[in-house]
Chain A
Amino acid sequence: MAAGPAYGEEKGGSSSLGEPEYGHDPASGGIFAADYKRHDDLKEMLDSNKDSLKLEAMKRIVAMIARGKNASDLFPAVVKNVACKNIEVKKLVYVYLVRYAEEQQDLALLSISTFQRGLKDPNQLIRASALRVLSSIRVPIIVPIMMLAIKEAASDMSPYVRKTAAHAIPKLYSLDSDQKDQLIEVIEKLLADKTTLVAGSVVMAFEEVCPERIDLIHKNYRKLCNLLIDVEEWGQVVIINMLTRYARTQFLSPNQNESLLEESTEKAFYGSEEDDTKDAKAEAAPLAKRKPYVMDPDHRLLLRNTKPLLQSRNAAVVMAVAQLYFHLAPKAEVGVIAKALVRLLRSHSEVQYVVLQNVATMSIKRRGMFEPYLKSFYIRSTDPTQIKILKLEVLTNLANETNISTILREFQTYIRSMDKDFVAATIQAIGRCATNIGKVRDTCLNGLVQLLSNRDELVVAESVVVIKKLLQMQPAQHSEIIKHMAKLTDNIQVPMARASILWLIGEYCEHVPKIAPDVLRKMAKSFTNEEDIVKLQVINLAAKLYLTNSKQSKLLTQYVLNLAKYDQNYDIRDRARFIRQLIVPTEKSGALNKYAKKLFLAQKPAPILESSFKDRDHFQLGSLSHLLNTKAVGYQELPDWPDEAPDPSVRNVEVPEWTKCTSREKRKEKVEKPFYSDSDGESGPTESADSGTPGQARCLWLSSAAAPSEPHSPHSPSEEEEDEERAKKAKKKVALQGKKGCAETSEEEASGFESSSSGSDSGSEAEATQRKAPPSSRAVPKEISLLDLDDFTPPTPQPISSSSVISTSLVTDLEGLTLIDTSLAPTLLSPGFGAVRTYELLHRMAGEGLSVEYCFSRRPFPGDQHMVAVQIQISNNTDTEVKSLRVSEPKPLSGMRIQEFPEIEYLAPGETASVVMGIDFCDSTQAANFQLCTHTRHFYVSIQPPVGELMAPVFMSENEFRKEQGKLTGMSEITEKLMLSEKYRSDHAIVQQVTSAANVGRVPCGADNEYRFAAKTVTSGSLVLITLEQREGAAAQLTINSEKMVIGTMLVKDIIQALTQ
């Protein structure tokens, strides 16, 4: 909008439509007689029946109007020609009519019938122009005719005429505002129009006539959003601005979640318990309760449809979209406008000025947005001063710890500029940088002190003022500077600077006890010649000195006060009197005298240097009011976000194809479901836990953990091993172990009977043991197990399952899991469930009876977060015992690290041991090579991780996901289409396949047919985001966003394989 009205004004101004002052040119009086004559021949020409003569006459008349001469006495002659066939004559007559009709209303009525005839013309162009002129004639009598004409035109066949009708509405409204109700009806009708041509104009009419009737927009909202891109440019501007306001009233703030998290520092401003309670809630249920903010799809629609307009060639459109994004978009998405705005900086200086103003405001709130474009704001010596100062403002706003040095270097060049106003502004900018960024304060101060020796007085004066402000923050260390400045009083003539120096000396006279009285002496000498502001400061200095050092300065003070007493300025006289009473003890002096010192030498707070754009953002960006920083006529406040979203269904239109409404509700339900319920879905795929209460299901599931695994499952050996170990100690401890969880006992029991346990077996066995256990009913151990597990796992149920899958020695489990709680970032979940696949490390034949298998346990390695935990099962199939089994001579590739497992001293024949070792794969799928040693042999082995194991799941909200995804586009995005295999079309199956292919966590998602997963690579912690979009039938699209492109591509392959096989 910014540039829009500006253009409009320029052009509107020169077009002189209905501007009466043009007619009264004093000069025209002088050549009145001559004018008369010419008017006569003009009349003759107009009366002739030759078109070319008429045209010539009309051209001259219009030229007269343009020169500001009164041509109104020709009115009757001109009006006659309104019915002329020649179009150019007609047009010029129209120009004339619009100009003079208001003055000569009666005569103008003569022409009305022509227009009425014109309204029926088969040519749409003539219909339109007739309506245009008719509505431009400001004659109150014809209001009903106009009303009728508009109504008729609003249902015209031609969209061009309808557009003109929309334009006529505000004209009629300004002529007679009583017609409002009828006009609103017409607007409502036109709003329903589907052509792009009309949309812009009617919204403009809406804004002019009834901006408060937001309810009219509801039904047309979606249509407007969708048409937006095809509407002509100026219409786009109007519509975007209107939609900004609309969205502000109809949607929830997309930043409310962030504001809770980020703006806790600003809480003081809101200062309400509301926030606190919200926070408390949020903390109470960090993951489960915080309902992720789901953007209304209509809100999203608006943002999506306006985004391409950022590429418009029209600066006004870009600016309008920019303000829309700034006011409406979630923080993460606002960044997209920066680029477009920077591009606008290349255009004309007027546009530059407006854009820079807005950038300055934005850069205060969202500094990060423009930081990458810092260099675009560097100043050229050819820029106009206005632009320079605005750029400086932006640069200052953007300054932070990292870029301050470059900015200051730039400032150094600016200081040497020839443009003195700009230099002064630069010095102030340095001052602001210095206050904002403590680190560079001393550097800045030194630089400014150097400027004090500059030859240009203005520069010196400005630096003095800024130094004064800076020194006020930390006066103690800088008495040297104060001394230096005291010397400057001899040279500097700029009053503001002199006053500043005097104030400084007075304020910190204790730091410079010797110099202060001397300065006062000098000033007393020249007192009468000083400017008022300096005089006041001299008095001030005298008073302060009198209080601190009365011995030396008593007489001087008296002298100064006497001089001031007879000063011409009453302010100075008053001040002198007031100070004399206050500080000089007399017999009458009251109680105040005692406090004089306190009054004068109180600690004064340092001034805060801040941007003049700080509070501008309460104006809608891009508006004239924002530009002027005052409220302009007709400015409409941007409404605040509503607390509760108004009913979104009002926007639903009874159009058959619009069925989204229902799916939306569904989606909402889904989101609102507590997090727990999802787990049903995710653990469901095991097919074993499909019944009973969650607790029961879980327990059952635990006990049948090995169910899906093949006979060669890793669990059986481990169980055997465990069993052995425990058997050594005491067989009767079964009851005791029951406490550790039903899973544990069940496994042990199961292994006791047979080494290759099948799931159903172990399940039933579990129950059997429980029955054996003395008084324990079925319920008791279950509860215990639940409690136990809950103790060391995060609230989500997934980790429980995984921990039990490979539970070996409970002790390490506990270690590992408790470590999760403490050492991991809260967002890093312990691994999600997935079928665990085992790999062979050493075959029985190659290992001479020793077979080793490994699997990826998907738990963080206890000792080191950057390592992938590898669970190793070693079974001794020989008939001799194996001693001192250990890892030796790891030969990791560069950067890889291996954390060996503790040496296994002894493995009896037929026994199995399970250990965990950690390997840091450096986010690559390179194999880790090492030697496995026994007391007799060495085996060279290598572990190669599938790419899906190099990561750990991360929990994030949909919003965060989108935000992160937005950052990882371009090269880091890989998209692949695939056909889902028959088996994997259901939600469960897809989730299961993906999570088993890669160690990722699911991200809640609003859309029905989309699945999102997120993970972080273990070593570098870079995000891996997976989006799977299911299309109709088996088609689907897989998108992976990751910085690590190699990982991304491999992962795509793996997941596709998992889903298509």
Chain B
Amino acid sequence: QDYFGVCSEVMIKDNVVVVYEVLEEMLDNGFPLATESNILKELIKPPTILRTVVNTITGSTNVGDQLPTGQLSVVPWRRTGVKYTNNEAYFDVIEEIDAIIDKSGSTITAEIQGVIDACVKLTGMPDLTLSFMNPRLLDDVSFHPCVRFKRWESERILSFIPPDGNFRLLSYHVSAQNLVAIPVYVKHNISFRDSSSLGRFEITVGPKQTMGKTVEGVMVTSQMPKGVLNMTLTPSQGTHTFDPVTKLLSWDVGKINPQKLPSLKGTVSLQAGTSKPDENPTINLQFKIQQLAISGLKVNRLDMYGEKYKPFKGIKYMTKAGKFQVRT
């Protein structure tokens, strides 16, 4: 995926040779050899348009002719001799809420899974430390191998020599024991009547506990029961589609305006003759909230040792819906 962006059949067919080369490096007689994508990229450079142009002109190859220096250094994930003119380090704190919401709106289970993705472009061998305002929040963490575990154990500080480029620094889990703020609510009224072949359908989405941030990219999907033939719905905002074959309803809401809550109303037509479906569909929700880590996690500071220059540092927070389900 790092090589081709998307992993599809066509893509693999088009790049058989590169795939072969990559796999050759990754495996030896069926045993994994090198799976760190940074190192692989060094061995076999990913195909880019620019490079193909250059290659055809100069006749050079996209196989690195040097030894993967990292393999032999103390820091296997970082290559030596990295140079940048702009030294920058960006960290994205991304949290996903997994939740199951009850029919009545009460939370059955909710937990937060978070990751810190980093994009570090720093010259030389920087040694970074990242500290949190409230590290106790993190219930369970897993690190990129570069993080010094001892330091975390004793001081709750992330200390590491970063790999070059993009990598996932850590992923964490805030357990269900802590109270999780649920940023949105869904009001729903879905009913099928036994007598007629029509049912009522109504969904309203509204913000809740969002700490003043706007909820964006809201998307509602719901798998309708088999008996549903079609749906005639009118959204107050956004667009909706219903696929009569897969019976999948999706409604792209967009931004939620707290003054005017988006809603989707209409009727459901059922297959004539069949009895009403005895189950109600569950509603899956997707949304995004920028500049907010719902768990309240905050990065305190980032320090760099080992190199002299002053890097540009940036941090971004984002909350997303993970597996967010509302039972109806």
Contact = CB atoms under 8 A, between A and B. Distances in A.
Interface string B4-25: 0000000000001101110110
Given A87-B65, A455-B278, A11 B26 contact: yes
B109 A158 contact: no
B244 interface: no
A91 interface: yes
A234 B17 contact: no
A7 interface: yes
A378 B35 CA distance: 33
Given A8-B27, A417-B279, A418-B279, A55 B223 contact: no
Interface string A168-206: 001100000000000000000000000001000100100
Contacts of B177: 372
A12 B31 CA distance: 8
A62 B76 contact: no
A380 B176 contact: no
B141 interface: yes
A63 B16 contact: yes
Interface stretch (B55-63, B208-216, B249-257): B55-63
B33 A382 contact: no
A87 B27 contact: no
Interface string B247-286: 0000000000000000000000000000100111010100
Given A59-B17, A62-B17, A51 B59 contact: yes
B71 interface: yes
A313 B144 contact: yes
Contacts of A346: 98, 113, 173
Nearest to A235: B32
Contacts of B206: none
Contacts of A417: 279
A581 interface: no
Given A63-B16, A234-B32, A380-B100, A15 B24 contact: yes
Contact of B29 (A88, A125, A170): A170
A634 to B, nearest CB: 12
A375 B109 CA distance: 6
Contacts of A318: 142
Given A375-B109, A416-B278, A132 B28 contact: yes
B197 interface: no
B316 interface: no
Interface in A1-47: 4, 7-8, 11-12, 14-15, 17
A381 B149 contact: no
Contacts of B28: 132, 164, 167
Nearest to A201: B31
A8 B225 CA distance: 39
Interface of A is mostly: helix
B72 A158 contact: yes
A822 to B, nearest CB: 41
Contacts of B35: 233-234
Contact of A413 (B31, B59, B327): B327
B54 to A, nearest CB: 12
Contact of B71 (A15, A92, A160, A313): A160
B215 to A, nearest CB: 21
Interface string B198-230: 000000000000000000000000010110000
Nearest to B275: A455
Contacts of B81: none
B62 A88 contact: yes
B111 interface: yes
A445 B280 CA distance: 24
Contacts of B130: none
B317 interface: no
A15 B279 contact: no
A311 interface: yes
Interface of A: 4, 7-8, 11-12, 14-15, 17, 50-52, 55, 59, 62-63, 66, 86-88, 91-92, 94-95, 123-125, 132, 135-136, 158-160, 164, 167, 170-171, 197, 201, 204, 229, 232-234, 308, 311-313, 318, 339-340, 342-343, 346, 372-373, 375-376, 378, 380-382, 410, 413, 416-418, 454-456
24 contacts: A8-B30, A15-B20, A51-B59, A52-B59, A62-B17, A87-B65, A88-B61, A92-B17, A92-B21, A95-B24, A125-B68, A132-B28, A167-B33, A171-B29, A201-B31, A232-B76, A311-B143, A313-B168, A372-B177, A373-B176, A376-B176, A382-B325, A416-B279, A418-B225
Top 3 A-B residue pairs of the complex, sorted by shortest distance between their CB atoms: A88-B61, A375-B109, A234-B32
